[in-house]
């Protein structure tokens, strides 16, 4: 999204600073907010989470480092999320350095995804290479309509966005809503009535009709993300925030899930697509601190490509002085 000069000035006056503009094309994001934050503020915070996570990785001490408490916390967080051997007094070992170099490289790739400069490295089975010349960010179902249009090559009702530029009409169809029975995006619920997802990464089909009679629409596929934050999800995490939930003595990372962190999570999926690999959420699904820590201890290689491990490490790193604790699970009788 490109800020106009007047909008940038208003942003500066309203918030005391100019926020990094979203580099992806946005759909339904004008005026959209969550927890009082707009999409530029959330995107800006996602970049801050990644940069800070990289800095905390660099701060993990080895035998030649200064062992201050925030550095020890960084090492402990890395042990939680990526399964490294870390000792509070001797620091990280050589094997751990290799692991964290891999994790840092993933954060580098996430930064490139946020900047829309991520380059595909492997062609898919059709011979096509990942392309970020277009990438679409949907803010909920805003801007999406259910139905069809003349010359729709999908030949059925779908959820789509329509963009008109002169005589050229552009239709954008998220892959997960490209069939007639698809529910409105962000409204899907599980058997307990809970939202199915906070966000989703998918293929967006771009269909361009140039308005010339007799010419078929041009169809191209690009990456897309939809944000569907639920009540209780924080919009952003401020640097050095004080973690006090559920108690100051035992704060849990699961109480600090953020939309900006969710973007970090989704960007790991994007990185996987750029490499023609499926960096999925695990089987069974791995969300949250307890399951991601368990994975890091049992399957380190999987933890290094699991999106939620990167989200959680980045969110924990925004409060570098905090000693984090697992989420307490209530025992049933």
Burial class (CB in 10 A: 0-12, 13-18, 19+), 119: exposed
Q: How many other β-carbons are positioned within 10 Å of the β-carbon of residue 88?
A: 13
CA angle 9, 12, 15 (to 5 degrees): 145
Residue appearing with tokens 């000069």: 5
CA 269 to the chain's CA centroid: 8
**Half-sphere exposure (CA, 13 Å, Cβ side) for 197?**
19
Give the whole-angstrom CA distance, residue 290 versus residue 209.
49
Reading the block at residue 38, the tokens are: 């707009």
CA 113 to the chain's CA centroid: 10
Give the whole-angstrom CA distance, residue 216 versus residue 220.
13
Give helix then strand counts, H and E, for the chain: 8, 11
Q: What is the pLDDT of residue 125?
A: 66
Helix axes 39-59, 94-115, angle to 10 degrees: 160
CB-based contacts of 265: which residues, under 8 Å, 6+ apart?
199, 307, 308, 310, 311
Cα–Cα distances (Å) from 174 to 17, 215, 223, in that order, read 34, 24, 9
Give the whole-angstrom CA distance, residue 324 versus residue 284.
24
Helix (H) or strand (E) holding 101: helix 94-115
Closest alpha carbon to 223 in 154, 310, 307, 133: 133
The tens place of each residue's pLDDT in the chain, 333 residues long, gives: 333 322 332 233 333 445 668 999 999 999 999 999 999 999 999 999 999 999 999 999 998 887 899 999 999 999 999 999 999 999 999 999 999 999 999 999 999 999 999 999 877 766 677 889 999 999 999 999 999 998 899 999 999 999 999 999 999 999 999 998 999 999 999 999 999 999 999 999 999 998 788 888 999 999 999 999 999 999 999 999 999 999 999 999 999 999 999 999 999 999 999 999 999 999 899 999 999 999 999 999 999 999 999 999 999 999 999 999 998 876 554
Length of the chain: 333
Q: What is the pLDDT of residue 330?
A: 67
Q: What is the pLDDT of residue 214?
A: 80
- In three state form, how does the secondary structure of 108-126 look? HHHHHHHHCCCCCCCCCCC
Give the whole-angstrom CA distance, residue 10 versus residue 24.
21
């Amino acid at each position: 999204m490109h800020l106009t000069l007047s909008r940038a000035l208003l942003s500066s006056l309203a918030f005391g600073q100019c926020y990094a503009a979203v580099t992806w094309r946005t759909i339904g994001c004008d005026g959209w907010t969550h927890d009082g934050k707009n999409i530029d503020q959330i995107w800006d915070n996602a970049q801050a989470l990644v940069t800070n996570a990289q800095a905390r990785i660099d701060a993990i001490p080895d035998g030649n480092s200064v062992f201050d408490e925030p550095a020890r916390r960084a090492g402990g967080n890395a042990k939680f999320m990526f399964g490294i051997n870390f000792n509070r007094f001797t620091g990280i070992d050589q094997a751990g350095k290799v692991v964290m170099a891999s994790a840092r490289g993933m954060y580098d790739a996430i930064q490139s995804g946020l900047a829309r400069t991520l380059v595909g490295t492997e062609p898919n089975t059709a011979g096509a290479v990942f392309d970020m010349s277009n990438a679409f960010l949907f803010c909920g179902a805003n801007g999406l309509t259910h139905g069809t249009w003349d010359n729709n090559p999908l030949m059925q009702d779908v959820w789509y966005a329509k963009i008109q530029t002169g005589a050229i009409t552009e239709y954008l169809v998220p892959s997960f809503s490209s069939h007639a029975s698809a529910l409105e995006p962000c409204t899907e619920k599980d058997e307990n009535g809970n939202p199915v997802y906070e966000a989703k990464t998918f293929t967006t089909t771009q269909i361009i009709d140039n308005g010339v009679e007799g010419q078929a629409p041009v169809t191209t596929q690009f990456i897309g993300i939809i944000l569907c934050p639920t009540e209780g999800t924080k919009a952003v995490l401020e640097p050095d925030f004080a973690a006090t939930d559920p108690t100051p003595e035992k704060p849990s990372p699961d109480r600090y899930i953020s939309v900006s962190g969710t973007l970090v999570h989704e960007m790991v999926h994007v990185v996987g697509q750029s490499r023609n690999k499926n960096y999925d959420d695990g089987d069974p699904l791995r969300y949250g601190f307890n399951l991601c820590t368990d994975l890091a201890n049992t399957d380190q290689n999987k933890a290094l490509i699991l999106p939620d491990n990167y989200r959680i490490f980045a969110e924990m790193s925004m409060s570098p002085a905090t000693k984090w604790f697992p989420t307490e699970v209530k025992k049933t009788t």
